[in-house]
């Protein structure tokens, strides 16, 4: 997290602000972003941090946790940006996809905040948010580009022609890439979620030790569930001692298969002329092997890759606002269309 003082100093006298809210899954987040894409504050209530700071909050996936956190998180975002609600011009919120009860907390809070000051509200698609992380300072990426969005919940290849949206070229048919990492980590006894632990362990192993299948799927889609099953069988054949000895090789080979699938489809899309520039967003962009496999890719900073509200506020810069008071009828949606 950047130092709030530096953030605020950099944008002293910044113009009208967008207050973004994100509650689609585990994270309760709020951020202040300027119209031209500078971040004044970006607050994500991670469970560990909150446990210490607000005390007694049970780290679980529940709407009530979002409800308890949404006000402190908004206050924190305003305080870190040295702003008040008077400086906010637009409220932006994730409308979906996500867990419906969780989304509704963010949508309701955003409606209330906007209503209280007669502000417009911008409903944002969570996936558009991930892409819009690339439109923020310090290095704003300009379309057109091809975007690999890979996280715990999503894996998509997107053609981005303009900042207002994207076209889906391919998507996972079963598990998301981040989910494949986390479940693989659990199968290897690395805990859950363990994508980062698997990445570290893989560096000590031989990626060619095991031949895990890279699923061939038609078009530009992805499939990771067969790979997961292959790991189940590989682990099943080993006793505890053998597993211990082969763990790093398994991690390296498994990671290689996931990254290979992601990279092959991304490069195939690039080759078919959809766009020459490649960008990678979502939590899986943190994976070291993926990062080095597409060396020229534009990568959003890590804290903007995982779920956050700055990306939601950023997407709102390129999304039509719903005027006061029309948005009171706004509903959340659970699944992508």
User: Which residues in this chain contact other proteins in the complex, by CB under 8 A?
Assistant: 25, 58, 60-64, 97-102, 151-153, 171-176, 178-179, 183, 186-187, 225, 228-229, 231-233, 334-337
| Minimum CB–partner distance for residue 269 and other proteins (Å) | 17
| DSSP characters over 88-127 | EEEEEEEEESS-HHHHHHHHHHHHHHHHHTT--EEEEEHH
Helix, strand, coil distribution of the chain in percent, nearest 5: 45, 20, 40
Question: Which CB, 145 or 222, lies closer to other proteins?
Answer: 222
Give me the least distance between CB of 332 and other proteins, in Å please. Answer: 11
Closer residue to other proteins, CB minimum distance, 44 or 176: 176
Nearest CA-CA partner of 228 in 197, 182, 170: 182
Q: Between 172 and 314, name the residue whose CB sits nearer to other proteins.
A: 172
154 to 77, 224, 301, 322: CA distances (angstroms) = 27, 12, 18, 27
Tell me how far, at minimum, the Cβ of 133 lies from other proteins, in Å: 18
For residue 211 the two structure tokens come to: 């031949």
The tokens describing 167, both together, are 């076209």
Smallest gap from Cβ 153 to other proteins, in A, equals 3
Q: Closest CB to other proteins among 173 and 298?
A: 173
- Answer whether 290's CB lies under 8 Å from 10's CB: no
| Closer Cβ to other proteins, 53 or 64, answer by number | 64
- How far CA 296 is from CA of 136, 279, 280, 281, 290, in Å, comes to 19, 9, 10, 14, 11
Alpha-carbon 295 to chain mean position: 20
Nearest approach, Cβ of 236 to other proteins (angstroms)?
8
**Burial (CB count within 10 angstroms: exposed 0-12, middle 13-18, buried 19+), residue 204:** exposed
Q: Identify which of residues 184 and 205 has a Cβ nearer to other proteins in the complex.
A: 184
Instruction: Write down the least CB distance from residue 233 to other proteins, Å.
Output: 7
């Amino acid at each position: 997290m950047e130092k709030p003082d530096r953030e605020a100093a950099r944008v002293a006298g910044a113009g009208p602000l967008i207050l973004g809210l994100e509650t689609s899954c585990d994270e309760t987040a709020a951020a202040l972003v300027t119209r031209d894409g500078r971040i004044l504050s970006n607050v994500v209530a991670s469970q560990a941090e909150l446990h210490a700071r607000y005390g007694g909050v049970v780290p679980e996936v529940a709407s009530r946790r979002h409800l308890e956190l949404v006000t402190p998180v908004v206050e924190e975002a305003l305080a870190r940006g040295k702003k008040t609600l008077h400086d906010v011009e637009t409220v932006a919120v994730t409308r979906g996809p996500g867990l419906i009860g969780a989304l509704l907390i963010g949508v309701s809070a955003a409606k209330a905040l906007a209503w209280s000051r007669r502000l417009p509200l911008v409903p944002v698609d969570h996936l558009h948010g991930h892409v819009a992380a690339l439109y923020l300072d310090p290095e704003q990426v300009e379309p057109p580009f091809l975007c690999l969005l890979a996280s715990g919940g999503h894996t998509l290849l997107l053609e981005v022609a303009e900042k207002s949206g994207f076209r889906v070229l391919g998507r996972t048919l079963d598990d998301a890439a981040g989910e494949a990492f986390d479940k693989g980590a659990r199968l290897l006894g690395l805990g859950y979620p363990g994508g980062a632990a698997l990445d570290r362990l893989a560096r000590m192993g031989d990626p060619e030790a095991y031949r895990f299948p890279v699923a061939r799927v038609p078009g530009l889609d992805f499939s990771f569930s067969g790979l997961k099953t292959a790991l189940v069988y590989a682990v099943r054949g080993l006793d505890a001692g053998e597993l211990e000895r082969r763990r790093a090789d398994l991690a390296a080979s498994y990671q290689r298969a996931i990254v290979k699938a992601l990279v092959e489809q991304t490069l195939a899309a690039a080759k078919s002329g959809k766009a020459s520039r490649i960008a990678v967003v979502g939590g899986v962009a943190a994976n070291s092997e993926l990062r080095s496999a597409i060396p020229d890719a534009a990568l959003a900073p890590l804290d903007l890759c995982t779920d956050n509200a700055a990306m939601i506020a950023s997407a709102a810069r390129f999304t039509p606002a719903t005027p006061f008071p029309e948005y009171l009828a706004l509903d959340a949606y659970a699944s992508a269309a």
